Structure 1
């Protein structure tokens, strides 16, 4: 089981590393400007000149694929980080102080979690208009509740631990207990949750961009490329297959990384495996 987890972690890091490095080095690796159009060479298949062919506007697919992961990954990391920060703050407050505060935050989180995420994101992006800001707002509003409820549960367990009671008797303030003793003891589960939510966020961004409510053309983006290629899926299937495989491998690597981190960082899971 341990060897399997190590292999899974190596494969996940390898795939994710290739995607991230190729996106960062896209200006150096891309043979053409990703937005350069050439109608004379539109809808060409893979060739020596264009290794992955060209799209309906004659743009080089390899160049657009190399640039295409930038927007999705940056947005996913930003939205997940903001969601985690909001959810962690509210979850810690609810779990540590309890009472009416806990009741209000839990009810609010349950309301947001009960709303269908995709429909809510489409509604927000539709009302505010398609833009990066509305996309980020939609992702944060639909993701913070999950972080909040899980963090709240962790804090409810940790605040009753004997060492917390001992530190409280020694005069430690609530802020000190939260920052130095509660948050560090739940950071492992938070990291695991973060990695899994990044994958969901990438998929949500791809869905909204495909519907025209996320990343806007002519920005190179894998989901936008799939949307643009719908009319040509019979004559040029590579226009859909290539960016679709990129999204698939990105999600696969993130999920594999989350599973590997869970096996390594989850203390309860390690105890079960040792038994």
Structure 2
């Protein structure tokens, strides 16, 4: 089964899908057929048609236009949160794992403290304290996500620095910064890539869930989780209001998990736990 999945993922179809996804995030809102914020009560809850490819919602807004625009709010926010988490967690993990000592003990206790609670609970509490909005949502997600990258990188560096080539590099007079940059950083790239890819789906789910309960993007701005919430009341009469954003979220999570498995097999990355 794993081999067949990898064969599917290795095909150009996946590359095409990823290309479409990035084009949708970057340029999709520029080519939407209708203003995603424009309301028209005379066209509310319209079915699928040539004019409205996915119908209209309870306020007469074009669902297809809102779906494309909402991709930037949901997936774009997830990418932003993961990027910031990597920029924060990777250097902390590198420094902690390489130098060890008191700094490493303090870092690990901080990481353990954050990871002692479920990610969703911490994100909900922080989002509630900071207030609704995408910027506050990014901050809440970064707070719970950076620790995973720091712990993974720290574990990898802690293992690699025991090897002979690191000892030889030190004997050759290389400075710690050069050793981190030339010898250790290449070893963590595969691990970070795998975790990042798997995190895309998880982060999209988290952002959509928080927006669903009103802690993310605020109306009338379209966001997939918020669109799910808006469509609850009309599910029996207009199921596409929930089905469309729900399928979009599911597709992103599905591709993220499959592609993450492919990268894990390709880089031969095994699950690691940080050494306390």
* TM-score normalised to structure 2 length: 0.91
Q: How far apart are the structure 2 equivalents of 1:123 and 1:31?
A: 38
Contact 2:225 2:245 in 1 (8 A): yes
What displacement does 1:110 show?
0.6
Q: How far apart are the structure 2 equivalents of 1:246 and 1:217?
A: 19
Partner SS for 1:52: coil
Equivalent of residue 56 in structure 2, options 54, 57, 70: 54
What displacement does 1:99 show?
1.7
Q: How far apart are the structure 2 equivalents of 1:225 and 1:177?
A: 49
Q: How far apart are the structure 2 equivalents of 1:36 and 1:268?
A: 49
Q: How far apart are the structure 1 equivalents of 2:269 and 2:247?
A: 34
Matched positions, count: 269
Q: How far apart are the structure 1 equivalents of 2:90 and 2:152?
A: 9
Equivalent of residue 92 in structure 2, options 90, 93, 97: 90
Q: How far apart are the structure 2 equivalents of 1:268 and 1:133?
A: 34
What displacement does 1:79 show?
0.8
Q: Match for residue 39 of structure 1?
A: 41
What displacement does 1:28 show?
5.1
Q: Match for residue 245 of structure 2?
A: 243
Q: Match for residue 212 of structure 1?
A: 214
Contact 2:89 2:147 in 1 (8 A): yes
Contact 1:6 1:260 in 2 (8 A): no
Equivalent of residue 115 in structure 1, options 100, 114, 117: 117
Q: Match for residue 274 of structure 2?
A: none
Contact 2:191 2:269 in 1 (8 A): no
Judge which range, 81-90 or 235-244, deviates more: 81-90
Structure 1: stretches of 5+ with no match in the other structure: 270-275
Q: How far apart are the structure 2 equivalents of 1:267 and 1:224?
A: 36
Partner SS for 1:25: helix
* TM-score normalised to structure 1 length: 0.92
Q: Match for residue 222 of structure 1?
A: 224
Equivalent of residue 188 in structure 1, options 169, 190, 194: 190
Could you report, residue by residue, the CA deviation over 1:103-155 in whole angstroms, capped at 9, with x for unpaired residues?
Answer: 11111101101112111111111111112221111111101111111111101
Structure 1 residues 140, 22: CA separation in 2 closer, same or farther (over 3 Å shift)? closer
Deviation above 4 Å: which 4+ runs of structure 1?
A: 1-4
What displacement does 1:73 show?
1.7
Q: Match for residue 260 of structure 1?
A: 262
Q: How far apart are the structure 2 equivalents of 1:94 and 1:21?
A: 38
Partner SS for 1:263: helix
Structure 1 residues 25, 87: CA separation in 2 closer, same or farther (over 3 Å shift)? closer
What displacement does 1:18 show?
2.8
Partner SS for 2:233: helix
Contact 2:97 2:104 in 1 (8 A): yes
Could you report, residue by residue, the CA deviation over 1:219-274 in whole angstroms, capped at 9, with x for unpaired residues?
Answer: 221111111111111111111001111111111111111111112222779xxxxx
RCO higher in structure (CA 8 A, sep ≥6): 1
Structure 1 residues 204, 40: CA separation in 2 closer, same or farther (over 3 Å shift)? same
Contact 2:264 2:270 in 1 (8 A): no
Aligned CA RMSD, in angstroms, stands at: 1.8
Could you report, residue by residue, the CA deviation over 1:63-83 in whole angstroms, capped at 9, with x for unpaired residues?
Answer: 111212111122111111111
Contact 1:15 1:253 in 2 (8 A): no
Q: Match for residue 106 of structure 1?
A: 108
Structure 2: stretches of 5+ with no match in the other structure: 272-276
